Amino acid sequence: MLTETSIQFLERLLDTPGPSGFEGAPARVWRDEAAAFASVSADVVGNSMAVVNDAGGPTILLAGHIDEIGVIVTYIDDNGYAYIEPIGGWDSQVLVAQRIRFLGRNGDVQGVIGKKPIHLMKPDEREKVSKMTDLWVDIGATSRKEAEERLHVGDAGVIDQRVLRLPNHRIVSRAIDNRIGAFVVLEAARRYAAKPGAARVVAVATAQEEIGYSGGGARVAAHSTGATMAIAVDVTFATDHPGAKKEEVGDHKIGGGPVISRGSVIHPLVVQMLRDSADALEIPYTLHAAGRFTSTDADAMQLARDGVATGLVSVPNRYMHSPNEMVSLEDLDRAADLIAEACRRVTAKTDFTQR
């Protein structure tokens, strides 16, 4: 299992606010940790890189995005109430009555999301889903002037929810998707550095995946690192809770091991390498089918430059895009071992061209 030191780093990473486009704070936490064993850098997009075995080859890119979903201030009214729109994909119902932490220019600004009380609603209103436009944020200000002394249009925020440890090696956080991907690729690089193979490995905490309609930071990283092979690490839907449709998503349990994707954008030789590595290490895993695209960093990386042989390893996640996403620490540990072993199997003679 992961060491207590690694888990404490993970908790710091998860608790540090960093929605898409505003990932600077968690990226610094990630780079500080990476500097203990890797050569560290950052780029203009917001990606953070950690290179191990720099003299090796070919280059393998390990990508886990470090951003989380959040909100951004769009307007402050005369009474000091702030209005918001989403950064990333929200179920607006989840936001009702939550506490929000904004990244203000002079420090964090806390507030609560308000909505008309149920007592004042008409019967038909009670049956309607709350829209983002029905909500506002109360930061305790009494006027626009007072509010703007602390908060400005364009300030980003996240739900003010901290990490919670639960029994059976489970951890809960608002930022599981996908800061745990950034954690896993760094942990995999750490384990690879302790027992390196021939390849040069670049772990990247990528930026802007949750809004990455054009590929986000992963597209930039795939170009700049010169990767021949890439593995994206993200979360996928756990289907071991009430109401889950295994027929639609697959059979993926928390604590059941990592999930290896197969499909049109996933390179079959990378898939086989991952499966062989899992079998050799006796790591349990499940398979996920992606017929068109994966909605992860893998989609952007596989078409970078003249093509990158790309795989996708995911961690089963309950309650995705909510204040209380849940994963198993055992799955994070196994995913890191799996990826490090797959990297050791790559040499200069590895041919990813399908002939």
Catalytic residues: 209
Amino acid identity at 1: M
Strands 286-290, 259-263: pairing kind: parallel
In which region does residue 2 sit, left (phi positive, over 0), alpha (psi from -120 to 50) or beta (all else)? beta
Q: Can you tell me the distance from the alpha carbon of 151 to that of 281, in angstroms, rounded to the nearest whole number?
A: 51
How many other C-beta atoms lie within 10 A of the C-beta of residue 138?
15
The angle subtended at Cα 78 by Cα 75 and Cα 80, nearest 5°, is: 70
- Report d(CA 312, CA 267) in Å as an integer: 9
Query: By CB neighbour count within 10 A (0-12 exposed, 13-18 middle, 19+ buried), where does 272 fall?
Result: middle
Q: 295: helix, coil or strand? A: coil
Tell which residue, 338, 297, 141, has the closest CA to residue 211. 297
Torsion over CA: 179, 184, 189, 193 (sign):
positive
Report the phi/psi class of residue 137: left, alpha or beta, with left for phi > 0 and alpha for psi in -120 to 50: beta
Say if residues 326 and 246 touch (Cβ distance below 8 Å). Answer: no
Mark out the alpha helices in 96-175 (DSSP H runs). Answer: 123-126, 144-148
The pair of three-digit structure tokens given for residue 158, joined into one six-digit string: 């996240």
CA distance 19 to 154: 12
Pairing of the two strands 229-237 and 59-65: parallel
